[in-house]
Structure formats: structure tokens, C-alpha cells
Structure 1
Amino acid sequence: MDNITDHLKSKETVFVTVGTTSFDSLVRTVDSDNVKEALSKKGYTHLAIQMGRGSYIPKKSDGEDGSLVVDYFSFSSSIADYLRSASLVISHAGSGSIFETLRMAKPLIVVVNEDLMDNHQSELAEELAERKHLFCAHPQTLCEVIESLNLDVIVPYEPGDANPVAKLINKHLGFSAD
């Protein structure tokens, strides 16, 4: 684990991830004064931003003025340590990031990237939000979602059992059912 994750342990940390893509509108939004103020009002003390291939550079802060401690990085070989140390995750709508966060039972706000051509990610995020596994936002609504955040309404995500599907596929392909 590196210095950033060591420093963030036992803090009220918000971890933001955009995966391997560029999602400057999300990074710019979480770096805005109104979003950082909303996070502070909710009791969060640290903000760690994984900015991917983006060109927008967030403003670092040591928090000495009472504001959030803010740090950022482009990539990590594994975001699992960041997810584990997070009190709240704000993520792009990539299925890998969503399900990894849900499996760790971390509160999650998924922000849909409206600039993508095929918006299947939006469908996934909205369906999981409707089932109350996570909260769904767009860059322009993120601050409102944070301000109204009520983590008590979250329903834990229970992964499905893939064994029946695997057995059916094996049977169809002529493999043994075991």
C-alpha cells in the first residue's frame, strides 16, 4: 500500500474513480467548491481522486484551513486498497468498478458519463439505483445527490449464483453436468 492509502485509513474518506478512461467532467465536479463543501457537511474529511486519462488536474489540499484533504493520482495497479479505506465511493458507471464496490459493501454514488456514445452504463446504474443498491447521479446533479444522501436506505447487494447458468451452458456444449 502506498502513502496515499496509508494516510487515508481510519479517515472519513471519499474515493473517486473514473477507471482507465477520461471523465474530466466528473473530476472537475468533485473538485468544485460546492461538492467539497457538501462532502464536508456530511462529515467526510478526505477526498482521493483517481483521475485516469483525464487532463483536468484537481487542486490538492492539506486540509489545514479546515477544508477536505484532497489528493489525486492517475492510475494504480489495484484500487482495492482505496475502496477498502473509503467511507463513500463516487465512481464512473463502469460495471467493474460498480460491482467491485458493491461486493465490498461500500456506499456508492455512480456518476453517468453522458458523453459516451453507447449509454448502456446508464441503464445499469439506474437499475441498481432503483433497487436501492447505490445512488445514481450525473455531473450536474452530483452535489444535490450528496446533499440529500441518506445511507440508511441502501439495500446490500447480493451477487447471484452463476452455477445454474454454467451447468446449462456445459450441458448444451456436451460437457458433463458436474
Structure 2
Amino acid sequence: MGDDGDSTECRRVVFVTVGTTCFDALVRAVDSQTIKKELFTKGYTHLVIQMGRGSYIPTKSTGENGSLDVHYFTFSSSIADHLRSASLVISHAGSGSIFETLRLSKPLIVVVNEDLMDNHQSELAEELAENKHLYCSRPQTLDRTIADMDLKSLLPYSPGDATPVAKIINRFLGFLDD
């Protein structure tokens, strides 16, 4: 145990994605020592950050001396590969990223970008969090969300369940929830 041969078996990757947007607040949050330490304490070994159009550059590290191995990139044609290899996904509130991650049955924390006007994405994330399919957070509360999360409490999302989306559309159109 502990030799290099075991390292791939023990690899637990946190994949952070902002999609095509600029969400420096999320990238800055996951780059903080507080969050990196919290993830490491939870047993994660690697942090891979897809930073999109952002200008904040995270700190790369090799994972030595009891810390996370951290890498970042702007865009990739193989986001699906990163999602598949992740043990935990931390994502912006884009519906494509949310549903692709849920379809792969990956534990998910959605971080809402409060700088967006008229943010219907946050309503979708909050509805799915209410139904225990994912955790919903803000950049400034992400450390607490990670510390308090119990991934065993998350429920699988059935792709045929359009209830959360329908509720948001109904709310948007002015219909009351039952």
C-alpha cells in the first residue's frame, strides 16, 4: 500500500467546469486553500479546473506534501471524458452541464453565478437540490457545502423526470405551483 502502483486506484478527481462562460468567482473559490484543504480532507487527490473565458489563473500543483494535484485548462473537446473520470463534479448552473453530469450519475455541486441577471439557471439548480439530486451553492459558501456534503444522501436523477424543468417553466409563465 502507498507504492506508485496503487496511485491510479486511489485517484479521486474533482472536476470543476464553468462551460463557455466567465465565472472567475467559482475558479477563485476552488483555488482557495480552504476549499483545496476541505477536498483533500474528504479524500480527493486531483483537482481539474476548466476555467472557460475567465481571466483568473488558478495555482497548479503536483500534489506533493499532502495536497491536491491541481491542473487547469480553458476549453476542451472532451469535457465528457473529464466528467466520466470525475469522482465529484463542481459546475456552473448551465443546464447542459447539470444534466450531462446527472446522466452520468456523478455527484454534483452546482455553484450559482449571482452576477448573472434574471438567473433562471439558479432556479433549476435549487429545484434539483430540493429533490436531493445535487447540492447547490454559491462561491462564498462552497467550502461549507463541501464540508457538510454527504454524497450518500443524493438520489439518482431519472432522465425522464421533467418535473423540475416543468415547475420552472410554469413559474416563469406565471402559473402557480400545486
TM over 0.5, shorter chain: yes
- Alignment correspondent of 1:3: none
> How far apart, in 2, do the equivalents of 1:93 and 1:68 lie?
25
TM-score of the two chains, using structure 2 as the length reference: 0.85
- Alignment correspondent of 1:44: 44
> How far apart, in 2, do the equivalents of 1:53 and 1:47 lie?
19
After TM superposition, list the pairs within 5 Å mapping 1:131-146 onto structure 2: 131-146=131-146
> How far apart, in 2, do the equivalents of 1:8 and 1:73 lie?
22
Letter in 2 for 1:52: G
> How far apart, in 1, do the equivalents of 2:143 and 2:161 lie?
36
Q: Deviations over 1:31-60 (max 9, x none)?
A: 000000000010000000000000000000
> How far apart, in 1, do the equivalents of 2:70 and 2:124 lie?
29
> How far apart, in 2, do the equivalents of 1:119 and 1:10 lie?
38
SS at match of 1:117: coil
1:91 aligns to 2:87 (yes or no): no
> How far apart, in 1, do the equivalents of 2:155 and 2:148 lie?
17
Identity of counterpart residues, as a percentage? 72
Q: Please, which runs of 5 or more residues in structure 1 have no aligned partner?
A: 1-6, 163-178
Q: Please, which runs of 5 or more residues in structure 2 have no aligned partner?
A: 1-6, 163-178
RMSD: 1.6
Tell me the number of residue pairs that the alignment of Structure 1 and Structure 2 aligns: 156
CA contact (8 A) 1:48 1:70 kept: yes
> How far apart, in 1, do the equivalents of 2:70 and 2:9 lie?
14
- Alignment correspondent of 1:70: 70
TM-score of the two chains, using structure 1 as the length reference: 0.85
Work out which of the two has the higher radius of gyration on C-alpha atoms and give 1 or 2: 1
> How far apart, in 2, do the equivalents of 1:24 and 1:8 lie?
30
